[in-house]
Amino acid sequence: WSAAPVINGQAVNTFEQDGANQPLDSHTVRAPWNHNVIAGKVQYANAELARQAIDAAVAGQAKWQAVPASERAAILRKTADLYEENYAELMALCQIEAGKTTQDSIDEIKEAVDFCRFYADEAERLNDITHEFTDLAGKQSRQVYKARGTFVCISPWNFPLAIYTGQIVAALAAGNTVVAKPAEQTSLIAHFGAKLMYQAGVPSEALQFVTGAGEVGGALTAADNLSGVIFTGSTQTAQRINQSLNDHAQANGELPILIAETGGQNAMIVDSTALPEQVVKDAVLSAFGSAGQRCSACRILCVQEDVADGLIELLQGHMAELVVGNPTYVATDVGPVIDADAKQGLESHIERMKSEPTANILAQTPMSTSSVVSEEQSTFVLPTAIEVQTIDVIGGEHFGPILHVLRYKARELDQLIDAINATGFGLTLGIHSRIENIAEHIERRAVVGNTYVNRNQIGAVVNVQPFGGCGLSGTGPKAGGPHYVPRLMKLSSESFSSA
């Protein structure tokens, strides 16, 4: 596979960009579980190409917003069909480029397809929504949804197809043109997704595709003719983008909107009435599924002290059963993390916890012997459970297969919720309890975007369980829900006299 920027439908050969024949940056993509497996090559854009992409999208805005909503919807549905028809190649890319397990890859493609179909329906729904008012003198007014303008979509590597596609198709559904910049680690799958979108009929002026790392994202968000940015990634980057939007006055005087979906420090609260087997199954899936690289993942399992010993024992048993290794093997539960930097950060946290007197390693699942991988040439982090005595000692979000366990006293439930709130994040919260009204009590006190009661604490289901956080976790609205596309549009009021 290969990827390069696509501007106005033309693939840009970045090796020919610089007048002095200096190639721009490029990057060879190696499978995270075995660096001998080469997935392909990515040519990076630079600030100048980012600028050209924005200008192309701005120039294409009038044409794309004039396309009837039904036609836009048809193109997005066709994209969904093409994703399904190209399932095998998308699966291979999810596995080889992002290191996803078979099940995670299946879920990834399904979510991307669901986003296309859901936002296609939204394009049609919002086109039909006009609020009409008539006053006594016979004057009428109505409100209609209209496109906003050009959006920059900056997506992460952890859902390289689903979030990437969701961001783009939501903006396109609204009639906005898009400049998409996927995470540098997963440009190949994003490029393939863009190819399928063009093939489905997304016009070349409506979608510009830009590769590259943070500097290229920075150049995009410093442009002066944007209507908005849709971003998923770290809280720090969201803050930088926010600053950049504030610093750069827009030529059209508009204030661009920022929709940011960022990190989490998610807890699961388990009291003595919870069903232990169910709790441990849910916690293990949430904490170690996708190698812990889901924003929604449970990071802190808070267990009422009366039942903690039994639950920890059960947790150790379940963790011992996890198959850690080559993600292309169907039986694998936990694959590698995305890259060497991620591995290094996670392992240094584990090392720090080992030397922390108040922390205690409860379990660490070894590599599965059935997996043929070279550990030196791969980015595996062993699933690890660590008991801690306070949330503070964890020190922020660790985006990988690490679960912290904290005991709490029943009478200190409110203090526990306050401590979880005090992390500043507010993405997901799991609750396991059979006590009547306790979930409502916790939900009212917790500052959090998504709660999961007596069920697994896992992300989103498009149209059924819209997803998004608050505080340091994001600005909303919730992706996959009815308030998302309206936020990308302008509600315009038109008044007229019937006389």
Q: Can you give the binding site for ligand ADP, defined by CB under 6 A?
A: 154-156, 181, 183-184, 213-214, 217-218, 221, 233-234, 237, 240-241
What tokens appear for 309 in the block?
């010993």
Q: Output the smallest distance, CB 153 to ligand ADP, in A.
A: 10
Question: Strands, E, within 84-149: which ranges?
Answer: 130-134, 139-147
Identify whether the C-beta of residue 254 lies closer than 8 Å to the C-beta of residue 385: no
CB-nearer residue toward ligand ADP: 49 or 241 = 241
Which residue number is nearest to ligand ADP in terms of Cβ?
217
**What is the rounded CA–CA span in Å between residue 376 and residue 379?**
8
Q: Which is nearer to ligand ADP, 212 or 449 (CB)?
A: 212
For ligand ADP, the closer of residues 154 and 382 by Cβ is 154
For the CB of residue 304, give the shortest distance to ligand ADP in the complex, in Å.
Answer: 33
Give me the residue label for tokens 């002290």.
305
Residue 156 or 264: the one with the smaller Cβ distance to ligand ADP is 156
In a 10 Å sphere around its CB, with 0-12 CB exposed, 13-18 middle and 19+ buried, how is residue 248 labelled? middle
Long-range pairs, 306-314, Cβ under 8 A, ≥24: 306/272, 306/410, 307/270, 307/271, 307/272, 307/274, 307/276, 308/405, 308/407, 310/276, 311/270, 311/276, 311/279, 311/280, 312/362, 312/385, 312/387, 312/405, 314/276, 314/277, 314/280
Instruction: Quote the tokens at residue 342.
Output: 């991620």
Q: Which CA distances in Å does 7 have to 58, 72, 324?
A: 12, 20, 41
Q: Which residue lies nearer to ligand ADP by CB, 140 or 239? A: 239
Number of residues that this document lists for the chain: 499
Q: Is 379 helix (H, G, I), strand (E, B) or coil?
A: coil
Least distance (Å) between residue 200 CB and ligand ADP = 23
Q: How far is the CB of 164 from ligand ADP (least distance, A)?
A: 9
Catalytic residue from among 153, 295, 298, 302: 295
295 is catalytic: yes
Q: How far is the CB of 23 from ligand ADP (least distance, A)?
A: 20
Q: Which of 73, 152, 190 is nearest to 120 (CA)?
A: 73
Distance from C-alpha of 306 to C-alpha of 405, rounded to nearest angstrom? 14
Give the C-alpha separation, 447 to 138, whole Å: 47
Catalytic residue among 111, 122, 205, 261: 261
Nearer to ligand ADP, 216 or 391 (CB): 216
Which CB sits closer to ligand ADP, 69 or 241?
241
CB distance 474 to 468 below 8 Å:
yes
* Inter-residue contact 188 to 42 (CB < 8 Å): yes
Give the three-state DSSP class for 327: coil
Neighbours of 447 (CB within 10 A): 18
Task: In angstroms, give the least distance from the CB of 178 to ligand ADP.
Answer: 14
- In single-letter form, the type of residue at position 123 comes to A
Q: Is 261 a catalytic residue?
A: yes
Preceding amide of 477 cis, omega within 30: yes
CA 409, 413, 416, 420 torsion-angle sign? positive
Minimum Å gap between C-beta 188 and ligand ADP is 14
Say how many Å lie between the first and final Cα of the chain, rounded.
Answer: 63
CB of 231 to ligand ADP, least distance (A): 7
Residue with Cβ nearer ligand ADP (161 or 417): 161
CB-nearer residue toward ligand ADP: 260 or 417: 260
Q: Shortest distance, CB of residue 211 to ligand ADP, whole angstroms?
A: 10
Give the residue from 161, 156, 185, 167 showing the smallest Cα distance to 107.
161
Catalytic residue positions? 261, 295
